[in-house]
Amino acid sequence: MSKVRILNFTISLDGYGAGPNQAADSPLGVGGEELHNWMVKTATFRKLYGGEGGEEGIDNDFTVRGLSNIGAWILGRNMFTLSRGEWPDDGWKGWWGENPPYHAPVFVLTHHPRASIPMEGGTTFHFVTEGIHVALERAREAAGEKDVRILGGVNVIRQYLRERLVDEMHIPIAPVVLGSGEHLYTGVNLLELGYKLTEHVTTSDAMHLVFTRS
Amino acid sequence: MSKVRILNFTISLDGYGAGPNQAADSPLGVGGEELHNWMVKTATFRKLYGGEGGEEGIDNDFTVRGLSNIGAWILGRNMFTLSRGEWPDDGWKGWWGENPPYHAPVFVLTHHPRASIPMEGGTTFHFVTEGIHVALERAREAAGEKDVRILGGVNVIRQYLRERLVDEMHIPIAPVVLGSGEHLYTGVNLLELGYKLTEHVTTSDAMHLVFTRS
């Protein structure tokens, strides 16, 4: 049975899913890149971007899980681009080059319609203006038997959580201070939403926490 | 040189320093006790309360640090008692029995004056109505060469942090979901306040994080 999952969405020790001042040279905001140290060093991540080497072990296992059995992806527009409002005619096709690491349909939530963008390697960016429920419907349909992964950002995750649409989530905490930014758990009561901590394991670069909704 | 320190102040994975609905049978709020699993199991903690056995290791080392070289303590009234407003004549002397684990002067922040309470083992509870600065002044004087430890709760810690009065803090994150409660980092920007993460080590029960102000 297909599930809706949030995976590898890392927050800082003070609770932020991205740093302040997102910009072209810091798409995750100031300090935001460091959140993902645990993942970037892994063999799986390196391979994903055409590199070699990297570490095996717990952090790698979670990186693998984040990519396994994913049939469709959902993300907010702010994760796709820096531009806001009407789509500019700037040829932007996301942060990830011609062959993005998704290899499946990716549904981008936006208020502004835009034609789909087919990429190499099986990724197609679709732009959904009808809200989170429609995006999920389309993603489920595209995913078939596989799972739908909600990539982020914080605002999108909070919306899906509040609507009780997420079956499982893996939210690592990285030993990184961001100081400010978007706080993941503001207005989100995990217990009220029915989540239980079903798995936790720590490494030098992350406290891996997995929540399952009952 | 005497320092002002916050030590062993544990928060949940969703950022709360205590659970909701503090009550006589759950002084740390619902689920709040679990925050301290990492500490309660240690040899040092057991000994502190007259027990035997317990674990050595990283968690125990941090428990030891939390008790070493402390010459005075500061805590908010809500950590001392459930009662609010004018002090009732109920004989309440804190949660910790006749011989509290402080063994030094303890300054309790309150808006309502009250005579000091001497306890066994060197602990005396003093009640300070003149605010956090006066409480710190008195604590520093009492501590002499030793350090002042700010025990909590969340509101008291935030006040001292914002006034840039804390030299060092150890804030473990426990793999516990509280869902709601008092959020430690709300309105506290650790970077702006000059804190750097200077130490982090993880165990199965806590991610130990130490911040130092530069």
For B124-160, write each residue's pLDDT tens digit.
999 999 999 999 999 999 999 999 999 999 999 999 9
Interface with chain B: mutation pick from A9, A10, A12, A14, highest number of B CBs within 10 Å = A14
Q: What is the DSSP string of B69-119?
A: TEEEEEEEHHHH-S--SSPPSS----TT-SS-TT-SEEEEE-SS----EE-
Q: Tell me, what's the pLDDT at B181?
A: 86
A190 interface with B at CB cutoff 8 Å: yes
**What pLDDT was estimated at residue A187?**
86
Residue of A nearest to B30 (CA): A191
Contact residues on chain B for A9, CB-CB shorter than 8 A: none
DSSP string, A29-92: -TTGGGGGHHHHTBHHHHHHTT----B-SHHHHHHHHTTTTEEEEEEEHHHH-S--SSPPSS--
- Within 148-187 of A, beta carbons closer than 8 Å to B belong to 171, 173, 175-180, 183, 185-186
In this structure, chain B runs to a length of 214
A192, B179 contact by CB (below 8 A): yes
Q: Characterize the bridge pairing of strands B105-109 and B124-128.
A: parallel
**CA separation, residue A186 to residues A18, A169, B158 (Å):** 14, 17, 17
The pLDDT score that the predictor gives to residue B18 is 85
Partners of A188 on chain B (C-beta within 8 Å) are 14
B207 to A204: CB separation less than 8 angstroms, yes or no:
no
Q: Regarding predicted confidence, which is higher, A185 or A24?
A: A185
The predicted complex's ipTM stands at 0.85
Q: Per-residue pLDDT for B207 more than 80?
A: yes
- The reply to whether A191 touches chain B by the CB within 8 Å rule is yes
Tens-place pLDDT, residues A14-60: 999 988 878 777 777 888 889 999 999 999 999 988 899 999 999 99
Q: Does residue B24 carry a pLDDT above 80?
A: no
pTM: 0.90
Interface probe with A: pick from B12, B13, B180, most Cβ of A within 10 Å: B13
Q: State the average pLDDT over residues B87-91.
A: 92
Higher pLDDT, B20 or B206: B206
Å from A35 to nearest chain B CA? 14
Are A180 and B197 an interchain contact pair (Cβ–Cβ within 8 Å)? no
Helices (H) and strands (E) in chain B, counts: 6, 11
- The answer to whether A192 faces chain B, any CB pair under 8 Å, is yes
CB B208 within 8 A of CB B60: no
Mutate one of A21, A176, A177 to test the B interface: name it (highest B CB count within 10 A): A177
A106-109: list long-range contacts, CB under 8 Å, 24+ apart. A106/A72, A106/A73, A106/A74, A106/A75, A107/A72, A107/A73, A107/A74, A107/A75, A107/A135, A107/A138, A107/A139, A107/A142, A108/A75, A108/A76, A108/A77, A108/A80, A109/A74, A109/A75, A109/A76, A109/A77, A109/A135, A109/A156
Residue-wise pLDDT tens digits, A146-182: 999 999 999 999 999 999 999 999 999 999 999 998 8
Give the H or E element holding residue B58. helix B58-67
CB contact under 8 A, A197 and B14: no
What's the pLDDT score for residue A125? 98
Residues in CB range of A184: below 8 A, 6 or more apart? A9, A11, A15, A16, A17, A154, A157, A158, A171
Contact B185 A211 (CB under 8 A): no
Q: What dotted CATH number matches B4-18+29-82+98-207?
A: 3.40.430.10
What local confidence, expressed as pLDDT, does residue A26 receive?
A: 78
C-alpha dihedral, A7 to A12 to A16 to A21, nearest 10°: -110
* Fold of domain A4-17+29-85+99-213: Dihydrofolate Reductase, subunit A (3.40.430)
Which residue of A14, A186, A192 is in closest CB contact with B190?
A14
Closest Cβ opposite residue A175 in set B15, B200, B203: B200
A99 pLDDT above the threshold of 90: yes
Sorted by where each begins, the domain ranges of chain A are 4-17+29-85+99-213
